[in-house]
């Protein structure tokens, strides 16, 4: 079994004090959090605060009435003929306050939970919007991914922080009011009280901080655990797990890793329980010392029995409350740290900007698309995925990209869609760098179907409409796109036609074959009114005849538009006006099919090889 890395289980003093400071500075995130809560729902937020303010004054009032009741009862025992009216009035008032207090509790809980759900929903929506703005390479970076993962966890978890902080404010107000009552009768008790809770507070703070550092430093492993759980128990992976008999391997890997995490966690949990018990025992002893002090004063006739119950009652409540406030305080600081992860994520800026005021693409494109000495390295990679690539895609031209696996074909398409920035060189549309165009307009003009397109487990209609999501309700356009891509042949055979849910995740879902999925995905390309259509091996799962037919149709249907086709089938590739043959990121041959055959180079060699396979 792997040993727990030292850095994960133990930390130096310096690290501890640094993260301690970090915890407290994380509290600075609270105002931003409350702004978010306020913006989410002003009515619920203000209602919640008002109810809590009222509630915070009730304990003092109740204790005072309790004291008055006892003193009145004692007085009436000694003066039996006096009227009982004041006593019943006090009892009535106590009953009324109890009923109001219950009602306030219900309202506060209700508002907390409604507000918590709304905040979680709003944060999730903001998260999706922000994630969509970020660069693709950021998603491929593990550090970023961990941040995203932590942020995603925060969206639901912050509900606790909301009620914690509001309860904290409420308890502090109650404490102040009770404290004022206590000061009037005996100021010394306050001092005992403070001494009693400080050890617990320090203990709580220390352990919360250790838990946070542990959780944080284990984010990559927790991500791996989630991934292993997914591999071992999801519909998508079940087929392969069964045929390769991976269950034991996955379960073992999960067990080993989860056990390491458990052990690290257990260590903290045990010392937390031990120290927590010891430190709160100090508080209990102090409480009893104060209690004895009050009893002695009562026996000496210095205070009434009512005052004794008031003092011991408020002391007990304040003790409990102070302890709750202190332990909640470190809880809040801890949650605020997690909150920092969420806000940090929102602070990550994309490098490819939306460029809302950028150029818009001419319709139709006049001079075409020019790759000008473009080179590209993936971030964190030290080899060139694309190297010194220069070519022009003329208006109306159909270009095919050919090359062995890893030659850089998909990378070229990603650069064209502005998913990455070229490391060197420029890509121009009508003479303007694509980075200077309005990003949304640029992408609206390009329709790309990637080889790893998404199989949306939604209706057929939605699966096609994602190609032009603004027209999701345009049934006619969806129908036409499906006719064009030959998906109609698939759809006709589905029990619910266009409304058929695809995939096996949801009830009544139907699974399609690889080729059938591809025909549906291909319809997305016809949905949008793009000037350039890029198909990155979207027909690899079609049989040879179907692929030939699809491409023949494609050439006819997109007549006049620009297209880039990536395929490993030469029968398809030869339909293009021009073919670019790529090797290790470089363009090594280009021309029409006939020209490349006459050249008798790499293209011709691969073509012959494939042709022989069919002989």
Ligand X SMILES: Nc1ncnc2c1ncn2[C@@H]1O[C@H](COP(=O)(O)OP(=O)(O)OP(=O)(O)O)[C@@H](O)[C@H]1O
Assess 330 for contact with ligand X (CB under 6 A). no
Which pairs count as long-range contacts for 101-106, CB under 8 Å and 24+ apart, including other chains? Answer: 101/55, 101/58, 101/62, 104/51, 104/54, 104/55, 104/58, 105/55
Near ligand X by CB under 6 A, which window of 39-47, 178-186, 377-385, 519-527?
A: 377-385
Least distance from ligand X to the Cβ atom of residue 196, Å = 58
- 408 or 538: whose CB is closer to ligand X? 408
Pairing of strands 532-536, 578-583: unpaired
Least distance from ligand X to the Cβ atom of residue 201, Å = 48
- 37 or 389: whose CB is closer to ligand X? 389
Near ligand X by CB under 6 A, which window of 18-26, 264-272, 406-414, 475-483?
A: 406-414
Among 44, 407, 477, 587, binds ligand X (CB under 6 A): 407
Least distance from ligand X to the Cβ atom of residue 135, Å = 12
Among 59, 313, 331, 403, binds ligand X (CB under 6 A): 403
- Helix, strand, or coil (residue 214): helix
The strand pairing partners of 433, in sequence order, are: 428
Assess 410 for contact with ligand X (CB under 6 A). yes
CB 397 within 8 A of CB 533: no
Least distance from ligand X to the Cβ atom of residue 143, Å = 15
Assess 411 for contact with ligand X (CB under 6 A). yes
- Classify 502 in phi/psi space as left (phi over 0), alpha (psi -120 to 50) or beta: beta
Among 63, 196, 318, 385, binds ligand X (CB under 6 A): 385
Cα(498)–Cα(167) distance, rounded to whole angstroms? 51
Assess 140 for contact with ligand X (CB under 6 A). yes
- 90 or 427: whose CB is closer to ligand X? 427
- Classify 245 in phi/psi space as left (phi over 0), alpha (psi -120 to 50) or beta: left
Peptide bond before 294: cis, by omega within 30 degrees of 0? no
Cβ-based neighbour number of residue 237 at 10 Å: 14
Query: Interaction with ligand X in 342-371: which residues (CB under 6 A)?
Result: none
Near ligand X by CB under 6 A, which window of 57-65, 96-104, 363-371, 399-407?
A: 399-407
Tell me whether residue 52 is exposed, middle or buried, using C-beta atoms within 10 angstroms of its C-beta: 0 to 12, 13 to 18, 19 or more: buried
Which strand (E) or helix (H) includes residue 207? Answer: helix 188-217
Assess 406 for contact with ligand X (CB under 6 A). yes
Assess 381 for contact with ligand X (CB under 6 A). yes
Assess 377 for contact with ligand X (CB under 6 A). no
- Between CA 532 and CA 537, with CA 536 as vertex, the angle to 5 degrees is 140
Among 409, 519, 524, 561, binds ligand X (CB under 6 A): 409
Near ligand X by CB under 6 A, which window of 214-222, 365-373, 378-386, 433-441?
A: 378-386
- Classify 585 in phi/psi space as left (phi over 0), alpha (psi -120 to 50) or beta: left
Near ligand X by CB under 6 A, which window of 109-117, 155-163, 265-273, 402-410?
A: 402-410
Assess 378 for contact with ligand X (CB under 6 A). yes
Least distance from ligand X to the Cβ atom of residue 18, Å = 34
Assess 408 for contact with ligand X (CB under 6 A). yes
CB 128 within 8 A of CB 159: no
Among 405, 495, 560, 612, binds ligand X (CB under 6 A): 405
Least distance from ligand X to the Cβ atom of residue 613, Å = 18
Assess 117 for contact with ligand X (CB under 6 A). no
For residue 565, report the phi and psi dihedrals to the nearest 5 degrees: -115, 135
DSSP state letters, 150-192: HHHHHHHHHHHHHHHHHHHHHHHHHHHHHHHHHHHH-THHHHH
Least distance from ligand X to the Cβ atom of residue 157, Å = 30
- 190 or 606: whose CB is closer to ligand X? 606
CB 538 within 8 A of CB 454: no
- 236 or 583: whose CB is closer to ligand X? 583
CB 534 within 8 A of CB 471: no
Q: Which residues bind ligand X (CB under 6 A)?
A: 140, 378, 381, 385, 403, 405-411
């Amino acid at each position: 079994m792997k040993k727990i890395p030292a850095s994960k289980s133990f930390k130096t003093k310096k690290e501890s004090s640094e993260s301690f400071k970090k915890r407290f500075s994380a509290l600075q995130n609270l105002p931003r959090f409350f702004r978010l809560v306020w913006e989410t729902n002003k009515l619920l937020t203000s209602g919640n605060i008002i109810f809590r303010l009222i509630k915070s004054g009730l304990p003092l009032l109740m204790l005072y009435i309790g004291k008055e009741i006892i003193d009145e009862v004692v007085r009436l025992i000694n003066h039996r003929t006096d009227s009982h009216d004041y006593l019943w009035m006090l009892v009535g008032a106590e009953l009324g306050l109890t009923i109001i207090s219950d009602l306030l509790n219900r309202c506060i809980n209700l508002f907390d939970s409604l507000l918590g759900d709304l905040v979680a929903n709003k944060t999730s929506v903001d998260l999706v919007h922000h994630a969509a703005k970020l660069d693709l390479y950021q998603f491929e970076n593990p550090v970023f991914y961990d941040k995203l993962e932590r942020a995603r966890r925060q969206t639901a978890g912050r509900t606790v922080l909301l009620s914690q902080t509001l309860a904290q404010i409420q308890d502090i107000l109650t404490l102040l009011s009770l404290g004022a009552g206590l000061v009037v009768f005996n100021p010394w008790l306050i001092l005992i009280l403070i001494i009693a809770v400080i050890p617990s507070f320090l203990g709580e703070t220390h352990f919360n901080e250790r838990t946070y550092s542990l959780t944080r430093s284990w984010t990559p492993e927790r991500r791996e655990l989630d991934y292993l759980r997914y591999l071992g128990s999801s519909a998508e992976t079940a087929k392969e797990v069964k045929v390769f008999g991976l269950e034991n391997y996955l379960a073992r890997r999960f067990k080993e890793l989860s056990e390491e995490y458990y052990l690290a966690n257990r260590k903290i949990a045990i010392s937390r329980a031990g120290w927590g018990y010891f430190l709160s025992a100090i508080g209990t002893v102090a409480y009893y010392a104060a209690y004895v002090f009050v009893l002695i004063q009562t026996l000496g006739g210095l205070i009434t029995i009512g005052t004794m119950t008031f003092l011991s009652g408020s002391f007990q409540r304040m003790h409990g409350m102070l302890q709750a406030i202190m332990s909640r305080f470190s809880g809040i600081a801890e949650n605020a740290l997690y909150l920092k992860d969420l806000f940090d994520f929102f602070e990550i800026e994309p490098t490819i900007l939306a460029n809302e005021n950028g150029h818009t693409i001419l319709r139709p494109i006049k001079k075409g698309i020019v790759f000008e000495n473009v080179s590209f390295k993936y971030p964190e990679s030290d080899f060139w995925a694309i190297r010194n690539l220069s070519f022009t895609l003329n208006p109306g031209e159909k270009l095919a990209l050919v090359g062995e696996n890893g030659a850089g074909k998909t990378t070229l398409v990603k650069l064209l869609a502005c998913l990455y920035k070229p490391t060197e060189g420029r890509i121009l549309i009508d003479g303007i760098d694509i980075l200077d165009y309005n990003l949304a307009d640029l992408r609206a003009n390009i329709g790309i179907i990637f080889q790893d397109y998404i199989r949306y487990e939604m209706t057929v209609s939605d699966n096609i409409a994602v190609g032009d999501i603004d027209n999701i309700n345009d049934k006619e356009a969806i129908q036409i796109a499906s006719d064009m891509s030959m998906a109609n042949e698939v759809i006709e055979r589905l029990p619910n036609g266009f409304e058929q849910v695809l995939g096996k995740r949801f009830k009544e879902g139907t699974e399609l074959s690889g080729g059938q999925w591809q025909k549906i995905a291909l319809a997305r390309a016809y949905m949008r009114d793009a000037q350039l259509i890029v198909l990155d091996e979207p027909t690899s799962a079609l049989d040879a005849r179907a692929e030939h037919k699809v491409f023949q149709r494609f050439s006819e249907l997109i007549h006049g538009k620009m297209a880039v086709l990536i395929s490993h089938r030469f029968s398809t590739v030869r339909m293009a006006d021009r073919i670019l043959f790529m090797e290790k990121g470089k363009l090594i041959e280009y021309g029409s099919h006939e020209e490349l055959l006459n050249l008798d180079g790499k293209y011709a060699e691969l073509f012959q090889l494939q042709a022989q396979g069919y002989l």
